[in-house]
Amino acid sequence: MAIIQAAILGFGTVGQGIYQILNERKVQLKQSLGLDIEVKAILIRDLAKNRIATPGVLVTDSFQEIEAIPGIQVVFEAIVGEEPAFDYLSRAIQKGCHVITANKVMFSKYGLQLEEQAKVKGVHIGYEATTAAGVPIIKTLKNLLQVNQVHKIQGILNGTSNYMLTQMRIQQCLFLDALQEAKLLGYAEADPYNDISGQDAFRKLMILSTLAFGKQPEWQDVEVEGITNITLEEVQNASSRGMRFKQIAEISQEVDGSLHAFVRLKLVGQEHPLYAIEGVDNAISLDTNYIGTLTLTGPGAGKFPTASVMVEDYADIIRKHTQFLVTL
Amino acid sequence: MAIIQAAILGFGTVGQGIYQILNERKVQLKQSLGLDIEVKAILIRDLAKNRIATPGVLVTDSFQEIEAIPGIQVVFEAIVGEEPAFDYLSRAIQKGCHVITANKVMFSKYGLQLEEQAKVKGVHIGYEATTAAGVPIIKTLKNLLQVNQVHKIQGILNGTSNYMLTQMRIQQCLFLDALQEAKLLGYAEADPYNDISGQDAFRKLMILSTLAFGKQPEWQDVEVEGITNITLEEVQNASSRGMRFKQIAEISQEVDGSLHAFVRLKLVGQEHPLYAIEGVDNAISLDTNYIGTLTLTGPGAGKFPTASVMVEDYADIIRKHTQFLVTL
């Protein structure tokens, strides 16, 4: 039986999740795809750091070393930030690898460029994990767009912010206490700027924009509001009126084709479709011409939700590439 | 350019919706699939009935006549009831046609059998429209199952019942008035038995069972409760306590592999994930091992939501069949 050889770039929470799921689901993946997978190499930043055991796998801090391994066909990427992730994925694509990424910061900026490179080389890019983690919004949107037109996308796209707003309301705690708790639970990064500034939600919204509308608005034209100015008093006032603060990311296309987008802290009532989305959950509503409004809700962060959709991307890509031509 | 030849069996609301969408989206489908589609024949029951114009299409009440047309590759089916739908689709598959169905009553019973026939003939079956209309639960579940295991499925699967329960609460109207309104709006059939008895939700639950667990529970072991016994007084009592009645269909797999399923009228509070699902919307929550809980919400009935996912099924099937083999 043929074996797919893979590399994992970045071995933090998500990278380790990929490795674990590939091992746990080895038999099922082999059965359903007719192909085995073997992780040949893992790229890390700090060789001294403790991590799960990966017997027989080259663990290195040199991308060049991984690049030099002949026969790698799939690259999973779970690095943070634009560079060197973009450089690595470009080079992987040039070598004819399929790539699967969870990197929203990189992909919101370089997604179209990578897609073009991939097209030229006849390989695929999986990026379900870049947006709303375990919620399969990318696949759903791709499927819908075969028939439907999407007018508007509205969502809660940052789990950390939503968790903090939920905690402030339910636990009556201060902003900084909610942030501290989010860090302890691993929802917020050591540097939580991207989450609480709205930048994380903004990047995900731009990825959805490219997919739904084939383009993005000018970034400087998009109003991006974080949750940093919210006080416990404001949250309590809202609660007493049956309202909730939600950080809502929205993009819509006008009749002239132009795009209007924002990430904004909104006060919403019980009738609002995103009112009930609590904790680290994300939700995305799509307004379409034939289907109407479709909403997906699920965990917007976390090791296994994120890693799981990356392994799904892998299965999809392999399946596509092993389809036989059937003459119609 | 090659042309796909299609037939539509059943030309009621959904059948006409398919025809309209195929025409409206002709250019886009051609662009994305590289193939044109032409509806060659439509099967109807009553030749005298008024319907939309279909220039150049054979409109007939004889399936034999359609069967005799050489070169039909895709059959859309939007008939109600087990027979003759099953017979027609079996025969279409035997002739090497891909089939796409919206018929939950037929497919809940004969789905596995049709899938086996299709496998032998190397053709595909699309059945997204059988369950929750515009909500892409079948595709989402298929994708998930590549990596995840599903433990429990819980949903509101009948739009008519949910619409009636919503109306009784909001408009404070009697059961029969809510039913009358559902009929006027085209949500309920002239004979609403399947909707209000819970049978419609039950059939959809069985389709999800086959997909998620590879089998169904014994039908006679499944408790199926309709909404027919509910009174306005009960609805009002629930409302006054902040609760709502919801018809909930649920199936779960025990550790020993056995299945436990029911369709039941439940009183739920605001913390319940299906509390906020109103009107004709359907919602389905999937409990999975890696992703956690994923919920999809959208229109559970209607001409264009249903027809749209059938045309999506068509696009998927054609795309699968025109993939070239790429040696790995």
So what's the pLDDT on residue B322?
A: 67
From B299, B302, B315, select the one nearest B16 (Cα to Cα). B302
Contacting residues of B for A304, CB less than 8 Å apart: 289-292
Give the CATH number of domain B137-300; options: 3.40.50.300, 3.30.360.10, 3.30.70.20, 3.30.70.420. Answer: 3.30.360.10
- Cα dihedral B148, B152, B158, B159 sign: negative
From A318, A306, A258, select the one nearest A133 (Cα to Cα). A306
Measured between CA atoms, the residue of chain A closest to residue B287 is A298
Measured between CA atoms, the residue of chain A closest to residue B311 is A147
> A325 falls in which pLDDT band (50, 70, 90)?
very low
B84, B297 Cβ separation under 8 angstroms: no
* Chain A closest-CA separation from residue B10 CA (Å): 20
CB contact (8 A) between residue A2 and residue B322: no
DSSP β-bridge partners for residue B320: none
Tokens encoding B237: 């009592």
| Radius of gyration, CA atoms only, chain B | 20
Residues of chain A with CATH 3.40.50.720: 3-132+304-321
Identify the weakest region by mean pLDDT among A13-17, A153-157, B139-143, B183-187. Answer: B183-187
So what's the pLDDT on residue A1?
A: 58
CB contact (8 A) between residue A299 and residue B322: no
| Radius of gyration, CA atoms only, chain A | 20
Tokens encoding B190: 């002239």
Residues of chain B with CATH 3.40.50.720: 3-131+304-321
**A112-148 pLDDT, tens digit each:** 999 999 999 999 999 999 999 999 999 999 999 999 9
> A272 falls in which pLDDT band (50, 70, 90)?
confident
Judge whether residue A189 has pLDDT over 90.
no
According to CATH, what is the number of the domain B3-131+304-321? 3.40.50.720
Beta-carbon contacts of B245 under 8 Å, excluding residues fewer than 6 positions away, are: B165, B169, B227, B230, B234, B235, B238, B265, B266, B267, B268
Write the DSSP symbol of residue A301: S
- Cα dihedral A128, A133, A136, A142 sign: negative
Identify the weakest region by mean pLDDT among A1-5, A227-231, A301-305. Answer: A1-5
Judge whether residue A326 has pLDDT over 50.
no
Q: What CATH class has A137-301?
A: alpha beta
So what's the pLDDT on residue B1?
A: 58
Residues of chain B with CATH 3.30.360.10: 137-300
So what's the pLDDT on residue A266?
A: 96
**A52-66 pLDDT, tens digit each:** 999 999 999 999 999
So what's the pLDDT on residue B12?
A: 92
Q: What is the mean pLDDT of residues A265-285?
A: 92
A/B interface, count of CB pairs below 8 Å: 150
CB contact (8 A) between residue A146 and residue B4: no
**B175-216 pLDDT, tens digit each:** 999 999 999 988 877 789 999 999 999 999 999 999 999 999
* Chain B closest-CA separation from residue A108 CA (Å): 23
Of how many residues is chain A composed? 328
A20, A35 Cβ separation under 8 angstroms: no
Q: How far apart are CA A12 and CA A14, in angstroms?
A: 6
Q: How far apart are CA B136 and CA B243, in angstroms?
A: 28
ipTM of the prediction: 0.93
3-class DSSP assignment, residue B3: strand
Query: Which fold is adopted by the domain A3-132+304-321?
Result: Rossmann fold (3.40.50)
Identify the weakest region by mean pLDDT among A25-29, A49-53, A259-263, B142-146. Answer: A49-53
Which of B147, B148, B187, B314 is best to mutate for the A interface (most A CBs within 10 A)? Answer: B147
**A208-260 pLDDT, tens digit each:** 999 999 999 999 999 999 999 999 999 999 999 999 999 999 999 999 999 99
What is the full per-residue pLDDT of chain B (328 aa) written as tens digits?
A: 589 999 999 999 999 999 999 999 999 999 999 899 999 999 999 888 888 999 999 999 999 999 999 999 999 999 999 999 999 999 999 999 999 999 999 999 999 999 999 999 999 999 999 999 999 999 999 999 999 999 999 999 999 999 999 999 999 999 999 999 999 988 877 789 999 999 999 999 999 999 999 999 999 999 999 999 999 999 999 999 999 999 999 999 999 999 999 999 999 998 888 998 999 999 999 999 999 999 999 999 889 999 999 999 999 999 887 653 333 3
The amino acid occupying position A50 is N
Tokens encoding A303: 């090791």
Which parts of chain B fold into alpha helices (H)?
13-24, 26-33, 63-67, 85-94, 104-121, 137-145, 159-170, 175-184, 193-196, 199-213, 232-240, 303-321
Q: Residues A239, A241, A242, A248: what is their CA dihedral angle, to the nearest 10 degrees?
A: -70
DSSP β-bridge partners for residue A299: A281
**B222-245 pLDDT, tens digit each:** 999 999 999 999 999 999 999 999
Residues of chain A with CATH 3.30.360.10: 137-301
Return phi, psi of residue B51, to 5°. Answer: -155, 175
pTM of the model: 0.94
Active-site amino acid positions of B: 204
When the pLDDT of each residue in chain A is averaged and rounded to a whole number, the result is: 94
Contacting residues of B for A29, CB less than 8 Å apart: 146-147
